[in-house]
A and B are shown apart, each in its own frame.
Chain A
Amino acid sequence: MAKTSDLDVAYIARLARLNLTDAETELFQKQLGDVLRYAEKLREVDVSHMEAAAHAVPIFNVFREDAPRDWFTAEQALSNAPHQANGLFIVTKVVE
């Protein structure tokens, strides 16, 4: 397992698209360092013969019939949008 000093909160925050203040960055660096040091105990476990488990119930490939049914109207889908116009979500400009 990697050394916990590798945790660079400022870099991870950019990956997560989450701005942090300098104070938060410093605090999380310390607190999450503690949590990751605690998590280092997992290194003691021999997992060489283990398969990873995504969840505890062995069900896979669940499909339902691909049939049309009633669902949201455009109006309902837009009902919580912070910005909307002409039946569309307004997004922040992406291209120049």
Chain B
Amino acid sequence: MTGKDLPALNIADLQPLLRRREVSPREVIDVLRARIQDVDGEIDAYLSLDFEAAAKEAEKANVDLPLGGVPIAIKDIISVAGEPCTCASKILHGYRAPYDATVIRKLRAAGAIPFGKTNMDEFAMGSSTENSAMKLTRNPWDLSRVPGGSSGGSAAAVAADEAFGGLGTDTGGSIRQPAALSGVVGLKPTYGRVSRFGVVAFASSLDQVGPLTKTVRDSALIMNAIAGHDPQETTSLNEPVPDYTAGLGRDLRGVRLGLAKEYMIEGTNPQVKAAIDAAVKHLNSLGAEIVDVSLPHTDYATAVYYILATAEASANLARFDGVRYGYRAENPKDLLDHYGRTREEGFGPEVKRRIILGTYVLSSGYYDAYYLRAQKVRELIRQDFAKAFEKVDALISPTSPTPAFKLGERSADPLQMYLADIFTSPANLAGICGISVPCGFAEVDGLRLPIGLQLLGKALDEARILQIAHAYEQSTDWHKARPPIAAAIHKA
């Protein structure tokens, strides 16, 4: 391994080099910057990169800490003190975060170095990263396709070896779906497991922060650093944090995995279906017992999700009023003009669409019919999962019904884009945890497009789904495959 090839490493393989002083944290930052300069012109994963700050951190990094000297890419919705935090929105152009989010404070305490803010759908609203007001991010496996979203920048950066690992946020699948489409590992923790303090709120009853990584072990390493109670946040769970790496390597004997018949939907790409069927057989051959289960309210999840998420978003985004921070329209003639034009000029089309929908479902005369009813159906969806988890340890499904789609292919039809969340948003509604791990490829137009296997676990059972995902990953070669843009720095 030469210095130039360092970005090909995962976190667990980089750490011994740092600890044996074979490479310094400063060299890692230098090499990573060079790698980003080489390839990010094609991928466009990053919105901003503060090399000076990262280099300074690297000089004093303690490599013996759990993530000592490891740079981590951060979705641009998470506050890093002194850095931009734009949410890929014009309304936050020029904004600089005055403090570190709790997850950043925890990453730093574990020795990690936040390096680079990554692209996303504006305010995390989208499944393709095309709703960024800044730039389009491209899928490293096929530059004509989307990386998924909304954490598409972090997913693409990790896939293209422009980051050793990254943080994203997941409100309806925004970590797991881009992980699947970009061929990396993405974990959405249990609601309340990871603090959102300092993370710009989209839908407060659904949002969670989690890692995007090259391997399941790396996911566990980042979770060890970021999970835990935060007195700054009222929804933070005050529960002990296990060592998420402890169960890795355990076999699958006695593990029961559920297949929900409601997840066998028409419209799932045949190559995705074949890959999941093969993964189920493989997990079975590793000793896991496969059990049929039912999640009868699955068909309602997307409707519930879009009512609740837009309602919460319309309330959360009311704070963007052009007074305390962010964009402000020039020369307003009165206060209504000030608000109306600031928000018209500052927000992009998808954000506006969702503010309108969310305001409508909360408005007088419609609240009971939409918002209240959706909250009740949400509880039914949660109960479906609770019943399923009486019979099984985890549920298996595709992460996304299709592999990565073409840039522009779905942007004209919001409903089609919303249906991309069909397998992921139920976990947010139920507050449970989920992980996407690479499980094969679809061959499309002569190119390989990654497919993700989703494992859902009950609340606070991250260690279990990490263990199962790790057993699957380590007995397959999917995670070793690299996109064409990364092949040059990988030795066969």
- B partners with A: yes
Binding site for A on B (CB under 8 A): 94-96, 98-99, 191-192, 204-206, 231, 234-235, 237, 297, 299-300, 302-304, 306-307, 314, 318, 321-328, 332, 334-336, 338-341, 343-344, 347, 349, 352-353, 355-357, 359-360, 363, 365-366, 369-370, 372-380, 382, 413-415, 418, 429-432, 459
The residue in B231, B328, B343, B360 that gathers the most chain A C-beta atoms within 10 A of its C-beta is B360
Contact in complex: B340, A47 (CB < 8 Å): no
A49-96 at interface with B (beta carbon < 8 Å): 50-57, 59, 62, 64, 72, 76-77, 79-83, 89, 91-94
Contact in complex: B300, A76 (CB < 8 Å): no
Contact in complex: B376, A56 (CB < 8 Å): no
B-side contacts of A17, CB under 8 Å: 318, 321, 336, 339-340, 343
What is the chain A residue whose CB lies nearest that of B97? A80
The residue in A9, A35, A59 that gathers the most chain B C-beta atoms within 10 A of its C-beta is A35
Contact in complex: B353, A42 (CB < 8 Å): no
Contact in complex: A47, B377 (CB < 8 Å): yes
Within the assembled complex, what's the spacing in Å between the Cα atoms of A53 and B325? 33
Q: What are 20 inter-chain pairs, A to B, with CB distance below 8 A?
A: A18-B355, A19-B344, A24-B352, A31-B415, A32-B353, A35-B415, A35-B418, A39-B303, A42-B307, A42-B373, A42-B377, A51-B379, A53-B379, A55-B204, A56-B191, A56-B205, A56-B430, A57-B459, A59-B235, A64-B231
What is the chain A residue whose CB lies nearest that of B94? A80
The secondary structure that dominates the A interface is: loop
Contact in complex: B335, A92 (CB < 8 Å): yes
Contact in complex: A18, B373 (CB < 8 Å): no
Binding site for B on A (CB under 8 A): 1-2, 6-7, 9, 12-13, 15-20, 24, 28, 31-32, 34-36, 38-39, 41-43, 45, 47, 50-57, 59, 62, 64, 72, 76-77, 79-83, 89, 91-94
Within the assembled complex, what's the spacing in Å between the Cα atoms of A79 and B306? 35
Rank and list the top 5 A-B pairs by shortest CB-CB distance, nearest first. Answer: A56-B431, A80-B325, A55-B205, A52-B375, A82-B328
The residue in A28, A56, A94 that gathers the most chain B C-beta atoms within 10 A of its C-beta is A56
B-side contacts of A20, CB under 8 Å: 344, 352, 356
B-side contacts of A16, CB under 8 Å: 314, 343, 355-356, 359
Q: Nearest-CB distance from B456 to chain A (Å)?
A: 13
Q: Nearest-CB distance from B372 to chain A (Å)?
A: 6
Contact in complex: B372, A52 (CB < 8 Å): yes
Within the assembled complex, what's the spacing in Å between the Cα atoms of A81 and B321? 11
The residue in A19, A24, A53 that gathers the most chain B C-beta atoms within 10 A of its C-beta is A53
Q: Nearest-CB distance from A87 to chain B (Å)?
A: 14
Given contacts A12-B359, A59-B235, 13 further A-B contacts (CB under 8 A): A1-B369, A7-B360, A16-B359, A20-B352, A35-B306, A38-B302, A42-B304, A56-B432, A57-B192, A57-B237, A62-B234, A79-B98, A89-B323
Q: Nearest-CB distance from B249 to chain A (Å)?
A: 31
Contact in complex: B370, A1 (CB < 8 Å): yes
| Known contacts A17-B339, A57-B237; A82 and B352 CB within 8 A of each other | no
Contact in complex: B357, A80 (CB < 8 Å): no
Q: Nearest-CB distance from B114 to chain A (Å)?
A: 19
What is the chain A residue whose CB lies nearest that of B193? A57
Q: Nearest-CB distance from B441 to chain A (Å)?
A: 32
A-side contacts of B205, CB under 8 Å: 54-56
What is the chain A residue whose CB lies nearest that of B427? A56
Q: Nearest-CB distance from A69 to chain B (Å)?
A: 11
What is the chain A residue whose CB lies nearest that of B364? A15
Contact in complex: A83, B191 (CB < 8 Å): no
What is the chain A residue whose CB lies nearest that of B206? A55
| Known contacts A19-B344, A28-B352, A42-B304; A93 and B335 CB within 8 A of each other | yes
Within the assembled complex, what's the spacing in Å between the Cα atoms of A56 and B432? 8
Within the assembled complex, what's the spacing in Å between the Cα atoms of A4 and B335? 31
| Known contacts A18-B340, A35-B415, A53-B378; A91 and B323 CB within 8 A of each other | yes
B-side contacts of A39, CB under 8 Å: 303, 306-307, 370
Within the assembled complex, what's the spacing in Å between the Cα atoms of A59 and B430? 14
| Known contacts A16-B314, A42-B373, A47-B380; A82 and B325 CB within 8 A of each other | yes
Within the assembled complex, what's the spacing in Å between the Cα atoms of A34 and B205? 25
| Known contacts A19-B343, A31-B415; A45 and B379 CB within 8 A of each other | no
Within the assembled complex, what's the spacing in Å between the Cα atoms of A54 and B331? 40
Within the assembled complex, what's the spacing in Å between the Cα atoms of A12 and B368? 17
